[in-house]
Amino acid sequence: MANENQSATAQQSDTDQLISTDPGGGGLSEQSDNQTVDSETESVVQSQNLDVYYGDTQALQDITIEIPSNRVTAMIGPSGCGKSTFLRCINRMNDLVDIARVEGDLYFHGQNVYDDYVDPVALRRRIGMVFQHPNPFPKSIYDNVAYGLRIQGNTENLDAKVEQSLKRAALWDEVKDRLDDSALDLSGGQQQRLCIARAIAVDPEVILMDEPASALDPIATSQIEDLIEELAEEYTVVIVTHNMQQAARISDQTAVFLTGGELVEFDDTDKIFENPESQRVEDYITGKFG
Amino acid sequence: MSRESYQQLLDELRENVVEMGDLVVERLEAALTALRTVDPEMAQSVIDGDEDINELYLALEADCIDLFALQQPVATDLRFVAASFKIITDLERVGDLATNLAAYAQSADRRLAPEVDVDTIGRDATEMVERSIDAYRREDVEECRAIAADDDALDALCQRASETVARDLIEREADTDDGWAVEQLLDDVSRLLLTVRDLERVGDHAVNIAARTLYMVETDSELIY
């Protein structure tokens, strides 16, 4: 990114254009009980009293949190605690689940992403996602990265954009001589980095990662973790992981969700893992509960 | 390994650190007795026994490293293992100081040295180590703070003892013609000053143990320096 300030300004403006036609949407001045870790850091995603239901089952309860920009925020908790549900709320992936119902507010740069006038497809361009299992398209390496750009009609200097994305995803050196090979011929770790390259090709502001390394071997996991730290210099990264040591290694802040869809504690990662405030969090991370 | 086994390892570490503490206190008391009664055999047993303490220290250090590497403790467990890791180092040093005292006991003559109440200083220092180990075992933060406060009294006792020795030397009319007597006097005084210094350091290690225990329980670093 040539100039971060210019880019951030452009992204803000772009965000307004892409997701909202309502000039008055989504002020945050009435928030009173946010879980926030650093008031000096601008938050990019904010939820306020967010509830999510799957049919009659409540998956998230009253989640209020501010996710700071250009940091890695980890979400941990036992299976079924709602951490992935929260992640999928951020770019409205839960819209694809028929029985899912969202109440409360979730803001992206002050715009409530659940307002009627928000285009979820446009939102997902600004908030990309990487899943647990690498899911490259059955196309060439090049075409995977170029896919989103072509859909946007953003094909000027396509080669350069593909190269830049692959470099940012720390994959370029390994694939530069075989860009026309099938993406499915890559190793699992390479496929996952290709998916990251595909996600960042359209220049999102936030990257959501749902257990991105859980299907990878230790070396590929280490490469993904290194990459996540590098990505945080330009992007806001929110990662769901079952691996608490991974959260401790790579994240700046950690949010702990516990059974029942409750956000119990959100703080700097070293605080969470050395001296959590909540006894329930203490019991969970030390393995006395779960 | 299940979390139940993990908890058992933590419990065992605590028991073993307390056992090491008890052993060190035992050796310290023996060294002080040897010093008081001028008992070379007892002193030698303390010197020979230092190897046991060193081996115990290395074994517990390995246990702590295993816990860090294999169990990756966090929160309370992390602070407990980290504190134990530091405390065994203090205990090993107290063991070394007990060996020093035993060595002084073997070569002590003290016929020419001034009168200093080493017994009281030694008893107070030993008691501080005992109390710090007990505070670690019981996670007693008030006792930790009390031990730190009592160290000032021990330091004052040591300071007065050193001044007594210095004053005695200044006021003594040395018989410079008797080379043997001067040499012996310097030997005795040196050992006495080293004894006082080592006992003062025993107290410092007790405070370190209390400080690590306080941080372990309350994440309060006020006593760590």
Q: Mind listing the domains of chain B with CATH numbers? A: 3-218 (1.20.58.220)
Given a contact cutoff of 8 angstroms between Cβ atoms, the answer to whether A26 and A117 are in contact is: no
Percent of chain B, pLDDT > 70?
A: 92
Beta strands (DSSP E) in chain B are: none
Q: Tell me: pLDDT of A206 over 50.
A: yes
Strands A111-112 and A262-268: unpaired
Confidence label for A41 from pLDDT (cuts 50, 70 and 90): low
pLDDT at A201 over 90: yes
Would you list the domain boundaries of chain A?
41-285
Interface test with B, best of A272, A275, A279 (most B CBs within 10 A): A275
**Mean pLDDT, chain A, whole residue set:** 86
Query: In this complex, do B77 and A286 lie within 8 Å of one another by their Cβ atoms?
Result: yes
d(CA A166, CA A259) in angstroms, rounded, equals 38
As a whole number of angstroms, the distance between CA B197 and CA A121 comes to 75
Give the closest-approach CA distance of A46 to chain B in angstroms: 28
Residues in chain B within 8 Å Cβ distance of A247: none
**Which residue in chain B has the smallest CA separation from A289?**
B3
Q: Chain A closest CA to B73's CA: distance in Å?
A: 7
What one-character DSSP code corresponds to residue A210?
E
User: Is the per-residue pLDDT at A2 higher than 60?
Assistant: no
Please determine, for residue A62, whether its predicted confidence score (pLDDT) is greater than 90. yes
Check pLDDT > 60 for residue B48. Answer: yes
Is residue A163 pLDDT above 80, yes or no? yes
What pLDDT, in 10s, does the model give residues B59-79? 999 999 999 988 889 999 999
- Least CB-CB distance to A276: which of B3, B6, B75? B75
Model confidence at A217, pLDDT cuts 50, 70, 90, reads confident
The stretch A189-193 carries a mean pLDDT of: 94
* pLDDT over 90 percentage in chain B: 73
Closest-approach residue (CA) in chain B for A272: B75
Strand ranges inside chain A, DSSP E: 43-54, 57-68, 72-76, 100-108, 111-112, 127-130, 206-210, 236-240, 253-258, 262-268
Distance CA B16, CA B125 (A): 22
Q: What is the pLDDT of residue A12?
A: 45
Looking at beta carbons, which residues of chain B come within 8 Å of A251?
A: none
What is the pLDDT confidence band of residue A219, given thresholds at 50, 70 and 90? confident
Q: B74 and A248: CB-CB below 8 Å?
A: yes
Complex ipTM tops 0.90: no
B77 to chain A: closest CA residue: A286
| Residue to test with chain A: of B11, B71, B74, B79, most A Cβ within 10 A | B74
Contact across the interface for B74 and A286, Cβ inside 8 Å = yes
Q: Which amino acid is at A274?
A: E
Residues B152-182: pLDDT tens digits? 999 999 999 999 888 887 777 655 666 667 7
Residues from chain A contacting residue B3 (CB–CB below 8 Å): 287-288
The answer to whether B74 touches A254, Cβ cutoff 8 Å, is: no
For position B185, what pLDDT does the model report?
Answer: 79
**pLDDT for res A176:** 96
Q: What is the pLDDT of residue A246?
A: 92
Q: What is the largest CA-CA distance in chain B?
A: 76
Cβ-based contacts of B220 with chain A (< 8 Å): none
User: Is B6's CB within 8 Å of A285's CB?
Assistant: no
Q: Output A9 or A245, whichever has higher pLDDT.
A: A245
Query: Of the candidates A245, A282, A288, which has its C-beta nearest B72's C-beta?
Result: A245
| Residue-wise pLDDT tens digits, B90-140 | 999 999 999 999 999 888 666 666 788 899 999 999 999 999 999 999 999
Residue-wise pLDDT for A243-290, tens only, equals: 999 999 999 999 999 989 999 999 999 999 999 999 999 999 988 775
Whether residue A158 has pLDDT greater than 50: yes
pLDDT value of position B88: 98
B188-220 pLDDT, tens digit each:
888 899 999 999 999 999 999 999 999 999 988
Residues A247, A255 contacting (CB under 8 angstroms): no
Q: Which residues in chain A have their CB less than 8 angstroms from residue B1's CB?
A: none
Helix (H, G, I), strand (E, B) or coil at A137: coil
B183 neighbors B105 (Cβ within 8 angstroms): no
- B75: chain A residues, CB-CB within 8 Å: 273-276, 281-282, 285-286
Q: Tell me how far apart the alpha carbons of residues A87 and A272 are, in angstroms, rounded to a whole number.
A: 20
pLDDT of residue B112: 62
- Taking CA–CA distances from B79, the nearest residue in chain A reads A274
Q: What is the CATH number of domain A41-285?
A: 3.40.50.300
